[in-house]
Amino acid sequence: LMDRRSDLATHEIKLGGVTLGKELFVIAGHCTIDPKNPNYFYETAAAVKEAGAHVVRGGVWKPRTNPYSFQGDVKSLDILMEASQRTGLPVDAEVMDEEHLKMALDAGVHMLQIGARNALNYSLLRAIGKAIAERDTVVLLKRSIHMGPIDEFIAAAEYIVSFGNPNILLCPRGTKPGLDGYRNHPDESITPLLKEKSWAPVVVDPSHSVGKAAYVPACSLAAVAYGADGLCIESHIDPAKGIGDDPKQALTPAVLAETIQQSKQLWSL
């Protein structure tokens, strides 16, 4: 299925008014929705739309390294869907288990994110593939922190698409160990390798790769230079007021707008 020569090579994935591969596709929004301050998310959603994003992202349930850190809150699911209503844009959230999966699908989440920590969780990948087989849901599959060769990433995607819904986006997001001062080892450079072996669009996440807002614009442009079809960027109306990764990683809407504009220019060269 993932073979470039398969029938699916001509399959078009459409979301947020964009056909993947026809113009640069952008997902942007919070790392984490703060259920106590929903207005930040509503303001961010409006601002990322204005900046040119096509999908609003917002973490409802969060995989945290420290079990005592905020783990997300199901109340944020309503906030996410309200932001979709207000902006008219589709939304993306990570699901970490089958309970989240059911709740997210029942709520109408348009794009399911599979995080780096679950990208090798084959039973979850299978459950997602089964659950969306008859739907037009899109999956953003992050590359595992520890994923080895490209084929392992493509095989993980295959677990989902083999059930019949081919709307999958491959998302390099950096691997461990990190490169010097970066959060992870930026891996946007695997984009051409993925595109050689698979027909699936590649949407790079520069935010988790470099882990610091100041480096995100350069990593975004690098991803586009390598041939990425899209970007997934953390952005917050007021990063210092954010939670999760947002204080460190999120771009302000102004920087996001500039990054999208420059990335689009480079993409169309």
Residues near ligand PEP, by CB under 6 A: 31, 59, 63, 115-117, 142, 173, 208, 245
Which member of 175, 245, 260, 263 binds Mn ion (CB under 5 A)?
245
Give least dist CB 65 to ligand PEP, A: 10
Q: Coil, strand, or helix at residue 254?
A: helix
User: Using CA atoms, how far apart are residues 139 and 117, in angstroms rounded to an integer?
Assistant: 15
Q: Does 229 bind Mn ion (CB under 5 A)?
A: no
Which residue is closest to Mn ion by CB? 31
C-beta of 34 vs 245, nearer to ligand PEP = 245
User: Using CA atoms, how far apart are residues 191 and 207, in angstroms rounded to an integer?
Assistant: 16
The interface partner of residue 115, options being ligand PEP, Mn ion, none and the CB cut-off 5 to 8 Å by kind, is: ligand PEP
C-beta of 68 vs 269, nearer to Mn ion = 68
User: Using CA atoms, how far apart are residues 6 and 269, in angstroms rounded to an integer?
Assistant: 28
The interface partner of residue 63, options being Mn ion, ligand PEP, none and the CB cut-off 5 to 8 Å by kind, is: ligand PEP
Using alpha carbons, select from 266, 252, 233, 269 the residue that is nearest to residue 26: 233
Q: Does 233 bind Mn ion (CB under 5 A)?
A: no
| Beta strand pairing call for 138-142 and 25-29 | unpaired
Binders of Mn ion among 4-63, rule CB under 5 A?
Answer: 31
CA 222: distance to chain centroid?
A: 17
| Residues in Cβ contact with 5 at an 8 Å cutoff, skipping those fewer than 6 apart | none
Give least dist CB 234 to Mn ion, A: 6
* Interacting residues toward Mn ion by CB under 5 A: 31, 245
